[in-house]
Amino acid sequence: MHLLSESSGVSAAAPVGQDFAERLGAWLSVADAITLRSALQSQAAPMAPGRTGAPAPHSLAEELQQVRATLTKSIETAEPVQPQRGRADHSAQGALSAPALPLDPAAEFAMLHQRYVEQQRRMEMSVDALRSHARERLSAASPELAQLALLDGVMDQMLGGREQHLLSTVPTFLKKRFEQLRREAANEANPDTSPDLLQRPAWLSQLTTEFQQALLAELELRLQPVAGMAEALAL
In the chain, the number of structural domains is: 1
End-to-end CA, the chain:
31
- pLDDT score recorded for residue 103: 59
Compute φ and ψ for 152, nearest 5 degrees: -65, -40
Predicted TM-score (pTM) of the model is: 0.74
Please indicate, yes or no, if residue 43 is contained in any of the structural domains: no
Please indicate, yes or no, if residue 144 is contained in any of the structural domains: yes
Please indicate, yes or no, if residue 49 is contained in any of the structural domains: no
pLDDT per residue over 99-124, tens digit each?
A: 444 457 788 888 889 999 999 999 99
Please indicate, yes or no, if residue 95 is contained in any of the structural domains: no
d(CA 211, CA 207): 6
Please indicate, yes or no, if residue 68 is contained in any of the structural domains: no
pLDDT per residue over 179-209, tens digit each?
A: 999 888 888 866 555 555 456 678 888 988 9
- pLDDT score recorded for residue 48: 45
d(CA 142, CA 52): 9
Domain that holds residue 162: 1-7+109-186+199-235
d(CA 229, CA 91): 64
Beta-bridge mates of residue 94? 91
Please indicate, yes or no, if residue 161 is contained in any of the structural domains: yes
- pLDDT score recorded for residue 24: 63
Please indicate, yes or no, if residue 1 is contained in any of the structural domains: yes
Q: What beta strand segments (E) does the chain contain?
A: 88-91, 94-97
Spatial CB neighbours of 152, under 8 Å, sequence gap ≥ 6: 131, 134, 135, 138, 225, 229
- pLDDT score recorded for residue 95: 46
Low-confidence ranges of the chain (pLDDT < 70): 1-37, 39-57, 79-103, 189-200
Please indicate, yes or no, if residue 137 is contained in any of the structural domains: yes
- pLDDT score recorded for residue 22: 67
d(CA 101, CA 13): 44
